[in-house]
Amino acid sequence: MSATEKPAAASGVFTLGDMEVNRMGFGAMRITGDGIWGPPKDKALAKKVLHKALDLGVNFIDTADSYGPYVSEELIAEALHPYPEGLVIGTKGGLTRSGPDRWNVDASPEHLEKALKGSLKRLKTDRIDLYQLHRFDRDVPMEETLGKLIELQEQGYINQLGLSEVDVEQCEKAREMTEFVSVQNKYNIAERKWDDVLEWCAGRNIAFLPWYPLAAGSLQNKTPGSTTPLFIKLRSPGCSIAPLI
């Protein structure tokens, strides 16, 4: 199979700032254990899945330090490092874990610096291609959270910044402080809460990365007619979308 015949390559391309990747990416959340906690039941199979994604033309992998925690990042490095040229790995910080399916927000500057440097070590890299804030923290002023990420970017630890689970108002406020290249919100055919954020991104050439795009497979039996509105949305002029699988 040639590069142009690979499914992910056939999906088209979009840009993340100075990086160009195929529109179909791979979300590495579920290569962990049940409840996104601990190691996978079959570590060898999880590593095969990562290799298969690359074989299919995927050159953008999305992960986070909280997946496991740490397990997803460690498996990516174990399976794929040294990374092939052109592979973009995005990770996230701002959530902590206390058990299976338990997620706690911590976007304090102290936590984010520790989280980022932990990700650098686990991913075996000197710079994160795309570092996304997993969540804003109601107990921490936005200026402090973004200020720390901007500082870390200026120090060379981060190439491009992104946001996750944000509304339009937060996007506008964040853009007053710094440039960011992506927004990753929960979005699929049945869950359209973030239509306005999608349109906001489309008008500014910012990548919109829908997580849970197939609702863990529950949308696979939708009729073609029911998928048409989503298809139109994803192809809105100027909008960059990377469905994560």
How does pLDDT run across 116-141, given as a tens digit for each residue?
A: 999 999 999 999 999 999 999 999 99
Report whether pLDDT(198) > 70. yes
Question: Measured between alpha carbons, how far is 112 from 149 in angstroms, rounded to an integer?
Answer: 8
pLDDT at 234: 37
What the block records as the tokens of 162 is: 């992104």
210-226 mean pLDDT: 57
The pLDDT value recorded for residue 229 is 31
For residue 2, give the H/E element and its range.
Answer: none
- Strand pairing of 207-208 and 128-133? unpaired
State the average pLDDT over residues 180-194.
91
Query: What pLDDT is attached to residue 36?
Result: 97
Q: How many CB atoms lie within 10 A of CB 38?
A: 13
pLDDT above 70 covers what percent of the chain? 85
Tokens 């990516």 correspond to 76
Q: Whose CA is closest to 130, among 50, 63, 204, 192?
A: 63
The rounded distance, in Å, linking the Cα atoms of 15 and 108 is 29
Confidence label for 227 from pLDDT (cuts 50, 70 and 90): very low
**Top-confidence residue, 189 or 20:** 20
Q: Where are the alpha helices (DSSP H) in 92-138?
A: 109-123
Percent of the chain whose pLDDT exceeds 90:
77
Q: Can you read off the two tokens belonging to residue 145?
A: 């959270």
Task: For residues 20-26, give the mean pLDDT.
Answer: 93
Per-residue confidence (pLDDT) for residue 103, from 0 to 100: 97
Q: Which pLDDT score is estimated for 240?
A: 44
**Positive or negative, the Cα torsion across 215, 220, 222, 224?**
positive
Kindly state the average pLDDT of the residues 175-182: 98
What is the model's pTM? 0.88
- For 78-116, the pLDDT digits (tens) are 999 999 999 999 999 999 999 999 999 999 999 999 999
Cβ atoms 86, 92 nearer than 8 A:
no
> Which residues are identified as catalytic?
67
**DSSP per-residue string spanning 19-57:** EEEES-BEE-GGGS-GGGBSS-S-HHHHHHHHHHHHHTT
With H, G, I as helix, E, B as strand and everything else as coil, classify residue 197: helix
Name the more confident of 9 and 238.
9
Please name the residue that has the structure tokens 């791979």: 26
Helices (H) and strands (E) in the chain, counts: 8, 12
d(CA 202, CA 184): 13
Fold annotation for 3-241: TIM Barrel (3.20.20)
Per-residue pLDDT, averaged over 150-165, amounts to 98
Q: Is the pLDDT of residue 225 over 50?
A: no
Q: Which of 35-49, 79-93, 154-168, 206-220 has the lowest mean pLDDT?
A: 206-220
> Residue 144, by phi and psi: left (phi above 0), alpha (psi -120 to 50) or beta?
alpha
